Amino acid sequence: MKKFLYLALLLPLGQRASAQHAASLTARLDKVSLTVALAANGQPTYAVHYGSKTVITPSRLGLAFASGQGFEGPLVLTGSDTKEVDDTWQPVWGEVKSIRNHYRQLTVHLRQAAAPGRRLDVVFRVFADGVGFRYEVPQQPGLTYFTVQDELTEFNLPGNHKAFWIPGDYDSNEYTYSTTRLSEVDTTPIEPIQQKSDPHRIQTPLMLKSDDGLYVNIHEAALVNYPAMFLNVNTQTFGLRSQLVPDATGTGAKAYLQAPEHTPWRTIVVSDKAPGVLASKLILNLNEPSALTSTEWIRPQKFVGVWWEMHVNKASWNYADTSNIKLGGTNWNRLKPNGRHGANTANVKRYIDFAATHGLASVLVEGWNVGWEDWAGNWKEEVFDFVTPYPDFNVAELQQYAHSKGVKLMMHHETSSSVTNYERRQDAAYRFMREHNYDAVKTGYVGRIIPRGEHHDGQWMVNHYVHTAQKTAANQIMVDMHESVRPTGLHRTYPNWLASEAARGNEFNAWSTGNPPEHETILPFTRLMGGPMDYTPGIFQIQLESWNPAQNKGKQVHTTLAKQLALYVTLYSPLQMAADLPEAYEQHLDAFQFIKDVAVDWDDTRVLLAEPGEYITTARKAKGKEEWYVGSITDENARTQTLKLDFLTPGQRYEATIYADGPGASWNKNPMAYQIRKQQVTSRSTFKLQLAPGGGAAISLKPVQK
Ligand code: NOJ
Ligand code: CA
């Protein structure tokens, strides 16, 4: 076996290996090594090591087609190619200014042993922090259109790792994480998973930790024209098997493709340190460069919104308390207002004033357009038209008012998951936006999808999200998608796609059992591996009774106030909401200063301390400035975090403003106690941060002029 091991590496780069000699091919970069082999039964497998440790034991590769004529039968190896790439690129926005893309590529050419002898390539890229691979179906005689019925990819793990997982719901990622051994993965007790068929089906990004100290993350990159990949866990052997999201036909079909075509990349990020996983740029590197011809109109930004007041039941999205509304058939002016409608002109002006006073770029307004009386839950096709305001929302007046204050309004398109309806109306909706000076839209997909039977994470919807990113880009519109499929790094290709939700956001703290304090320490290791999240941090009025005493009895957000500040740094996004109401911030303008100051675009990022499910401390350098911001968060346990400020420029003095949990603070008993202090520091200083249970700390570091 050993003598074949380095065959691919011994060949000069770019040369083609001949088939007959190669039983096994390898590629390596630093500690990461890949072995691809063809088993005696003609099944191709791959394995991954990190130094002397095993990441993936030999695991199957392959695609099965609907006709049964896929690549599940015996294959032969007909050759391989290698190449090495080492370059750098600059993202339009991001966590760092410049990204190194260094990998060794191994392309394995396979052919069916029996007739019709179809060809399949598997392309592997080995990075210093993991491996990506994808299937490529080349142009070939006798294969044009084909349906992928199953992907046979496996990720066999060498042990019963600790796993951070959410259940494999094809329509939602809005779950809290379970932390169990792989042998204990069982989604049955969790409500409300919509498809109960397999209690061992979970979602990616999947975060794993091995007993021998490896941190492994499994996900995918560049999900286009293909369904999302879920994973079925074998709780006895610790094998994971790819499970693609089915389409609406009920035939088990997953993807309809036309050769030449390729699948998304399957990604395995590995490090012996937890911060190494968070620093990985592997998924971005596997995505295509920006497809946009101009990007100067894309602006990372902070925003407020007529939003949380609906989630805490102080106001409503709907204008009337009635139902049985029909687009085109209802006279909105005749409806009796319910007196609680949040998106009224006067209230929106209040938010515009607040944004203008505090230098925030924009104001999201939800519930501005007709249809909310009848949205979600009815599986009805014509819910919203995206252009008709309620009678108390004056589009022209607000356009003018926002403009006069130097603030943008952010559009909201809740589709109620009637996606066919949205697609029919997108052109008119974006034209309306351009006419009224909106340049960003938050979309949403609450409820069951129309076309009926499609899933949020299937091929049809995946194409819709990409189509929406392209269509908004063509109109120079930035987009933030809620309830979309979880991201896979496509914001590199479509940098106007600033963020997605696609996880359980802060809003769950308003009206459900909420998010446990550990939640935000897991998100960067899971959901955020694929891209930025619109988590909506910044809740200051943590006890929600003050907004609606009758309905919010005892309800509170599971956080301390200082932790809400830290989230602006630990949860990366170029789009960050200051989610609370203006009147909540006005009570605590000293703490609000951090939200005003913190950047949303960065030249550098250092993850200083991290352990999934426990704590994260991250430092980031603001774009084009000498300023740094630090966020530090913990789970339900109090902690002391000691950090060295050696990332600061040597010789420079900085004024540090430290926003910390106050004495006796805790997420459940005393969440709003905080203290702010200032101190001068240099790159030689160290900090000891005391984090309260469920708490955090935020620090701004600004240079002191000499
Ligand atoms: C769910 C979204 O996540 C939330 O932000 C929004 O307010 C509601 N849907 C209504 O569209
Ligand atoms: Ca949501």
pLDDT digits (tens, 9 = 90+) for 423-448: 999 999 999 999 999 999 999 999 99
Q: What is the pLDDT of residue 102?
A: 98
Q: What is the pLDDT of residue 652?
A: 97
Q: What is the pLDDT of residue 322?
A: 86
Helices and strands counted in the chain (H then E): 13, 37
Model confidence at 108: pLDDT above 50: yes
Domain of 15 in residue numbering reads as 8-285
Q: Is residue 638 part of a domain?
A: no
Residues less than 5 Å from ion ligand 2, measured at CB: 482
Element (H, E) at 274: helix 274-279
Q: How far apart are CA 599 and CA 572, in angstroms?
A: 11
Q: What is the pLDDT of residue 153?
A: 98
Q: Is residue 208 part of a domain?
A: yes
Q: Does 275 sit in the ligand 1 pocket, CB within 6 Å?
A: no
Q: Which tokens sit at 579?
A: 């989610």
Q: What is the pLDDT of residue 10?
A: 34
Residue with the bigger pLDDT between 68 and 563: it is 563
Q: What is the pLDDT of residue 189?
A: 84
Average pLDDT over the chain reads 95
Grade residue 315 by pLDDT with cuts at 50, 70 and 90.
very high
Model confidence at 457: pLDDT above 90: yes
- Please give the average per-residue pLDDT across 676-684, as a whole number: 98
Q: Is residue 170 part of a domain?
A: yes
Q: Is residue 359 part of a domain?
A: no
Q: What is the pLDDT of residue 1?
A: 28
How many structural domains compose the chain?
A: 1
- The alpha carbon of 531 and the centre of ligand 2 are apart by a number of angstroms equal to 16
Q: What percent of the chain has pLDDT over 90?
A: 91
Report how far Cα 592 is from the mean position of its chain's Cα atoms: 26
Model confidence at 71: pLDDT above 60: yes
Model confidence at 352: pLDDT above 80: yes
- Please give the average per-residue pLDDT across 695-704, as a whole number: 98
- Please give the average per-residue pLDDT across 325-329, as a whole number: 87
Nearest CA to ligand 1 atom 7: 307
Parallel, antiparallel or unpaired: strands 301-306 and 362-365: parallel
586 residue type, one letter: E
Query: DSSP letter at 246?
Result: P
Q: Is residue 554 part of a domain?
A: no
Q: Does 259 sit in the ligand 1 pocket, CB within 6 Å?
A: no
Q: Is residue 346 part of a domain?
A: no
Question: Which ligand approaches the C-alpha of residue 483 most closely?
Answer: 2
339 residue type, one letter: G
Q: Are 205 and 221 in contact (CB under 8 A)?
A: no
Q: Are 576 and 568 in contact (CB under 8 A)?
A: yes
The CATH number given to whatever domain includes residue 205 is 2.70.98.10
- Of ligand 1's listed atoms, the one at least distance from the Cα of 482 is 3
- Please give the average per-residue pLDDT across 560-585, as a whole number: 98
Q: Are 594 and 659 in contact (CB under 8 A)?
A: yes
- Please give the average per-residue pLDDT across 490-510, as a whole number: 98
Instruction: Give 246's Cβ-side CA count (13 Å radius).
Output: 12
Q: What is the pLDDT of residue 329?
A: 87
Q: Does 413 sit in the ligand 1 pocket, CB within 6 Å?
A: no
Grade residue 403 by pLDDT with cuts at 50, 70 and 90.
very high
Grade residue 513 by pLDDT with cuts at 50, 70 and 90.
very high
Q: 3-state DSSP call for residue 300?
A: coil
Q: Does 534 sit in the ligand 1 pocket, CB within 6 Å?
A: no
Grade residue 192 by pLDDT with cuts at 50, 70 and 90.
low
- Of ligand 1's listed atoms, the one at least distance from the Cα of 317 is 10
Element (H, E) at 409: strand 408-414
184-192, long-range: CB within 8 Å, 24+ apart, which pairs? 184/235, 185/233, 185/235, 186/235
Q: Are 120 and 72 in contact (CB under 8 A)?
A: no
Q: What is the pLDDT of residue 194?
A: 65
Convert the pLDDT of each residue in 223-269 to its tens digit: 999 999 999 999 999 999 999 999 999 999 999 999 999 999 999 99
Q: What is the pLDDT of residue 59?
A: 98
Q: What is the pLDDT of residue 230?
A: 98
Q: Is residue 408 part of a domain?
A: no
Is 636 an annotated catalytic residue? no
Convert the pLDDT of each residue in 535-560 to its tens digit: 999 999 999 999 999 999 999 999 99
- Please give the average per-residue pLDDT across 605-616, as a whole number: 98
Q: Is residue 361 part of a domain?
A: no
